[in-house]
Every structure is written in structure tokens, then in C-alpha cells.
Chains A and B, each alone.
Chain A
Amino acid sequence: MPMKIAKATFATLTILFLVAPLIAILPLAFTSSVILTYPIPSWSLRWFEELFFADAWRRAIVNSLIIGTGTTLLATILGTAASLGLRNRLILFRGTMRTLFLLPMVVPAVVLGVGMQVLLAGFGLTNSYLGVIIAHTVVAVPFVVVSVTGALAGIDERVELAAQSLGAAPITVFRRITLPLAMPGVLSGAVLAFATSLDEVVLTLFVAGPNQRTLARQMFSSIRENISPAIAAAAFLFIVATVVIGLVVVLSRSMLAKRR
């Protein structure tokens, strides 16, 4: 019995440690004060106004959406195509390529950032949207590859053979069978790619110019230079978006599971 109580206490405290910081920041988004402390003097939406109407924040949000969309498209297309290619077991260096595709997840962002800045400067791509999208795609693509290869591995190859035998040409098999079955994986890969781009700071620091300042980059310098409750408002939006995205991913996974 005391063992049981100890376990329950430990689990509760750890859950508190994991979740409480995220919850504690939420009410501060609605403070009327200019400092980020409790108790909150009175409620106000002024920091959301700041977020959406102050020039720096508004441009950062727009930039994040532009760059996030570009990254999502590029990473999803490249990652999905490559995952389809990796299905073929006859391909030479299949394992090596797979490792290469996942490696950007492992390499420290600062190291990649230094190299990326040197390289993109050579192409004249620093301080450009394209440069930032390319940099974000490099780190977002592993998530797409993991997600799509997972979905593809779950497809019974005999289902595709059956479609062929029933009269479907290879392209039709792909369109009617493979792609629909891999779709939940592609979608959750795309969501993860967008989330990666949204949260990316370090590469952005190295390759983006003042015109490509993203929301995450803006939050970073705001915490560093003059912290204000606008941070809490931005965090509020992030956490809400996370919960929504999380639900989408969970639902699409369970959709996938139900089909099997």
C-alpha cells in the first residue's frame, strides 16, 4: 500500500512538472499589465491585439505562414516521392539513403546553420524567402519520410498485386490503391513538417534576413531583449494549435488503424 501511494505521488508530481508550465503561461496571455507576473491585475485582450496589429508581430506571423506553407509543400513532395522510391527492395544503398534522409533530424541545428549560411551566401540566397524555405525543408523532410514510410510499410503488397490482377495498370494502382492508403501518413507528415517550420529558430537565425523574421524568431528575440506578455499570447496560440494538430494526428492515426 505505501508503495502504491509513493507511485501515485511520483506520477502526479511528474505529470505536474511536465504539464504545469504550459498551463501556467496561458492566463498571462490575457493580462492587462505590461509585466509577465501573477497576480493578474485585470483581464484584457490587448496582447492579442499587439500580436495581430503591431507591425513586427503581424509580419512575423505572415512570414511564418508563408515559409511554413512553402516548407510543407516542398518537404511533403520530396519526402513522399523518396519514401515511395525506398519501397523498392532492389535499390542499391537503400539503407544508406534512408539514413541520409533521417540525418538532418540528428545534426545539431547550429552546425547545420553555420554551413547553410556559408553555402546560401554563395548562391545569394541569404535574406530570401527561398533560402529560409530550403533550410526549413532540410530539417522538416525527415518527419515526412518517417511518417510516409511508416504508412507505406503498413500496406499489404498483395493488395496492390490484387488490383493489378483485376485489371488496374500500374499508374491506376498507385492512384486508386497506394496513394489513398498512404494518405494518412502523408497528411501527418505534412502537419509535422509545418510544425517543424513554425518552431524552427536556429536555422532562421543564420539564414533569414530582417524581412524573413518568423514568429518563432520574433519570440526568441522578444524573450531575449524585451519580454512582454505578447509572448504569452503567442504561446497561447501555439499551445491551442498544438492541441488541435495533436488531435488531427491522433484521429488520422486511428483512421489508419481502423482500416487495417
Chain B
Amino acid sequence: MAEFIRFERITKFYGPLCVVENLDLGIEKGEFVSLLGPSGSGKTTLLMMLAGFEQPTSGNILLDGTAINAVPTHKRDMGVVFQSYALFPHMSVGENIAFPLQMRGIGKAEVDERVKRALGMVQLSALVDRRPSQLSGGQQQRVALARALVFEPRVVLMDEPLGALDKNLREQMQLDIRDLHRRLGLTIVFVTHDQSEALTMSDRVAVFNKGRIEQIGTPRQVYDEPATRFVAEFIGETNLVEGVVEAVQGQEATVRLPSGAQIVSAVSGTVARGQSVFLSIRPERVDLSEARGEARNVLETEVTDSVYQGDHLRVQLQNATHPLIAKLGRRSREFPPGTKVFAAFSAGDCRVIAP
């Protein structure tokens, strides 16, 4: 399948500061790609360059096979949704949504028709004559969305569009946007620093750090198979344990921990015998029991604390050399501090990561 958007060796400097470094990224038509990373990682800058608000210092941006570096923003045909919504404060909701259609010289009757349809799509038909300042944050957000979609742009760009909403509304909007994406077949590039948002909505997630992409893949890939320590730590919670590779067998490696325990784990990338590595073990994949079971990987630990958190039980453990966290389902029994337990997990539930 041909790539619709292509970033080719993009580098961006602000004065002496390099914010995007030699970056390559391809996005397919109809795909929902999230750019995920901490603030300052370059994800927003990349989006701004795609929208044409910023120019790359070097490299090319291609849209449907043609370079668009020299195309000014207003001719790029991309709908942008900002975190602050950026609605026109002196225009009504209807006028805001009609604006991009008027810019394209569309006749009044069709403008009215399409504004009506767009408002219906975001369920705001009743508010057509209101000013943005008279709307709630969630309503403003939906107006911004309608305005960015009404002219059927080739790409929709979203810069942390849900950041200012409260938690419940944010989760509702995540599902609404995902639904629109599927129904309309939109190509969406979505910037966020919220990993659960990225996992919920995206076809693929690109994890940014210091101007580079650390890993790009489906939500399942970046969560279950983190390629780097940064990805493992940034997405979800994880236990990172240092160790040395003893043997490599295909997609698995045997790692010896400082305590002497041997762990068999799946491998991201390539590692060699004798190499110092990290093991990433997701807390919710750890099982606890007082008897050594049949699992391949078992660590002897002692419970230091245990916290009931409603949907799960969070247990802090201490092994001979390192702490460990386990999240247990709410049906699990309690483990009072001081209890000696065995922490077990399968080889597929942990990853070897080269440092």
C-alpha cells in the first residue's frame, strides 16, 4: 500500500537547539497515527511542519508523492484541531464552521447545507448561533472538530485536542473521534502526551523522545514489545530489572539476575551473550502464590506493602536485590506485608531490552 504522507530525513533547529533530528516516518491513507511523547520531544513541531506553520531546517515532507515544503499552509488542505480549540471569538458557531467553505468559494446554499450536516455530526445543531465564549469546553472542542472536518481535508491534524477536558468528557471524545475516523475513512495525525489516549485511539503509535522516534507500531506492539527502555517506561507501568544475557535461543534469551535467578524472556531487537540488559516485566502479568508453581520464571520475594485500589490490588514486593510491583485482579486474595511469596510470569510476558 502506498504511503500517503512521508517525512523524509526531517531535521528542525530552533537556533542552536535541535528539536527534530533526521526523522523518517510514513503514514498511510485512512490511518490513525498518534505521535506520543513527553513535552519537548518534537512531536508537536513535526505536526506544525506538516501543517505548514513551521519549515523544516532540512528534509522533505511528501503528500501523496509530491513534496509540499514550499506549499503555504492555506493551500495544504489539512484540517487542524488545536488544544485551545482556536475558535474565532468574533464569529458564531455556524460562521466558524462555514469559514473554510467560504475560503474555497463554495456557494451559500451548499455552505449552509454542509454546516448543518457537520453540526449534526457533532450533535450541536441547536447551538448554531451561539458565540464560542457561550459554549462549554466540550462543546467548543466539538465545534473545532466540525470546523476541521467540514471541508473534507486530505489529512486531519490534532494537537492534544482533548488536553483541556476533564476525564469523563475526554474518554467520551476519544471514542467519538475514533468512531468518526472509522466512519469517514479519515487520515488522522494525532499528537498527545497521554499514553492511554494514544493506545485507545490509534492504528499505530509513534513514540517520540528527544526529537527521534523510539518505536512505531500498533498499540499492542508498543505496549507488549517495547523496543527501548524509554518506551517500556513511558507507556504503562513496568518493572525494570538489570541482568546479564547467558544464552540466546531464537526469539528468547536466558538472563541471569544479580540475585542469581535465571529468567527466560522474549527479546526485542538483537542481544548477544554476556551483554548487560534490562528486563521489562509488566506488573499486571505477574502472578503471586505461596507455592512455587510450574511457571518458567519464578522469583522468591517478600511482600512489603499492599494497596487496594478498587479495580486492582497493588502489591509491592522485595526480592533479594530489587523491588518488584505486581497488580492483581480484584478477585485476588490479600497478601499482608511480610508474607513470603513466589512471583511468577511466562517468558512471553517479559521483554529483554538492550540498554
Residues of A within 8 A of B (CB): 156, 158-159, 161-170, 172, 176-177, 180-181, 258-260
Contact = CB atoms under 8 A, between A and B. Distances in A.
Nearest to A177: B88
Interface stretch (B98-106, B241-249, B262-270, B274-282): B98-106
Interface in B123-169: 131, 133, 147-148, 151, 157
B90 A180 contact: yes
Contact of B82 (A162, A167, A260): A162
A167 B152 CA distance: 12
Interface residues of B, number: 29
Given A158-B82, A259-B133, A167 B103 contact: yes
B84 A158 contact: yes
Contacts of A180: 90
B51 A181 contact: no
Interface in B18-57: 51-53
Contacts of B74: 164-170, 172
Contact of A165 (B79, B90, B104): B79
B88 A167 contact: no
A168 B99 CA distance: 9
9 contacts: A156-B86, A159-B87, A162-B82, A162-B86, A163-B99, A165-B78, A165-B79, A165-B157, A259-B133
Tell me the dominant secondary structure on chain A's binding face.
helix
A180 B147 CA distance: 20
A166 B103 contact: yes
Contacts, number: 74
Given A158-B82, A166-B74, 16 more contacts: A159-B86, A159-B87, A162-B80, A162-B82, A162-B86, A162-B87, A164-B72, A164-B74, A165-B53, A165-B76, A165-B157, A166-B80, A166-B148, A167-B75, A167-B103, A181-B89
A161 B86 contact: yes
A64 to B, nearest CB: 34
Most buried by A among B51, B72, B74, B82: B74
B106 to A, nearest CB: 11
A255 B78 CA distance: 32
Contact of B90 (A167, A172, A259): A259
A172 B53 contact: no
Contacts of A159: 86-89
A99 to B, nearest CB: 25
A259 B75 CA distance: 29
Contacts of B73: 161, 164-165
A181 B103 contact: no
8 tightest CB-CB pairs across the interface, nearest first?
A167-B103, A166-B100, A162-B86, A165-B80, A259-B89, A158-B86, A164-B73, A159-B86
Contacts of A163: 88, 99
B153 to A, nearest CB: 9
Contact of A167 (B77, B86, B157): B77
Given A156-B84, A180-B90, A181-B90, A161 B53 contact: yes
A172 B103 contact: yes
A158 B84 CA distance: 8
Nearest to A166: B100
B186 to A, nearest CB: 15
B244 to A, nearest CB: 51
B188 to A, nearest CB: 14
A258 B89 CA distance: 9
A173 to B, nearest CB: 8
B44 to A, nearest CB: 12
Contacts of B89: 159, 181, 259-260
